[in-house]
Amino acid sequence: MSDLKKIFLEETDSTNNYAKRISGEIKDDCLITAKKQTAGRGRTGRRFFSPEGGIYMSLLLHPCFPDGKTERITLMAAVAVSRALEAVFAVKPKIKWVNDIFLGGKKVCGILSEGVYNPEKGGFDYAVLGVGVNLSLPEGGFPEEIKKIAGAVCETADLKQRQMFIDRFVSEFFDIYENGADYMSEYKSRSFVLGKQIEYIKDGVKNKAVAVDITADGELVVKENGKVYFLRSGEVKICVDSII
């Protein structure tokens, strides 16, 4: 981490896309940050609102880990983001499975990890970890379609706080990523999904179940009518009648 290359951009389409574009020429780990994204995206290609005033960054990682472990990067990042928010802003964030960070019932951060698999090597050429944080309230507010769910860490944040958060996140993430520090127990303790009744969609059908555990690979374990199911992806919604 000491030799981490850093690139700062005034504006880009997406820091994840930028990281992919430079992956062929940069063989070391690299941090890309941008003031603004014009085409920020989340899981399943959804648009991620990315106006000036937020933190948008991606880590280009050249991992040497076996097939499947890229999924764990999202879990590591969620813990690192939570620690950094606590340290810099003295807040108590919660994790919504699998890749969102919430404060006061509002989403303030989204995480997107992507791996590029090389079948000839039997492993990943590289992975890209993207983190977008609604650091302060955007001018004009959030768009209508997300204003009920989106929130900000604080009303306003200065450049010093912004940099402190980035530095702390990078430090916390690499402590887990490189040193094998425990993170799963902390991920679970920060979850506001575990123990709650949730709704999820499977094969086009809405189901209700209780979230009981999260596996090391990020699967959400749910129990429904005495049967146990493992959810690898998708949206979950906490039922209104479940205590939050």
Whether residue 48 contacts residue 9, with contact meaning beta carbons closer than 8 Å, is answered with no
Euclidean distance between CA atoms 2 and 176, whole angstroms: 15
Q: Which residues pair with 130 in a beta bridge?
A: 58, 112
CA separation for the pair 68, 70 (Å, rounded): 6
Q: Which residues, in sequence order, are bridge partners of residue 52?
A: 54
DSSP state of 219: P
Q: Specify whether the CB–CB gap between 184 and 224 falls below 8 A.
A: no
pLDDT score recorded for residue 208: 95
Sequence ranges of the domains in the chain: 5-190, 197-238
Q: Which pLDDT does position 73 carry in this prediction?
A: 94
CA distance 4 to 123: 22
For the chain, the maximum distance between any two Cα atoms, rounded to a whole number of angstroms, is 53
| pLDDT value of position 201 | 87
The pTM score is: 0.92
Give the integer Cα–Cα distance in Å for 127 and 137: 30
Determine contact, residues 19/31, Cβ cutoff 8 Å: no
Q: Average pLDDT by consecutive 10-residue portion of the chain (244 residues)?
A: 88 94 93 90 69 91 69 94 98 96 96 86 86 91 88 91 97 92 94 96 90 95 95 85 51
What pLDDT does residue 243 have?
46
Strand partners for 9 = 34
- Looking at the DSSP bridge assignments, the partners of residue 207 are 200
Percent composition of the chain: helix, strand, coil (DSSP 3-state, to 5): 25, 35, 40
Whole-angstrom distance, CA of residue 127 vs CA of residue 59? 8
The pLDDT score that the predictor gives to residue 68 is 56
Closest alpha carbon to 150 in 190, 113, 111, 109: 109
Topology of the domain comprising 197-238: SH3 type barrels. (2.30.30)
**CATH code for residues 5-190:** 3.30.930.10
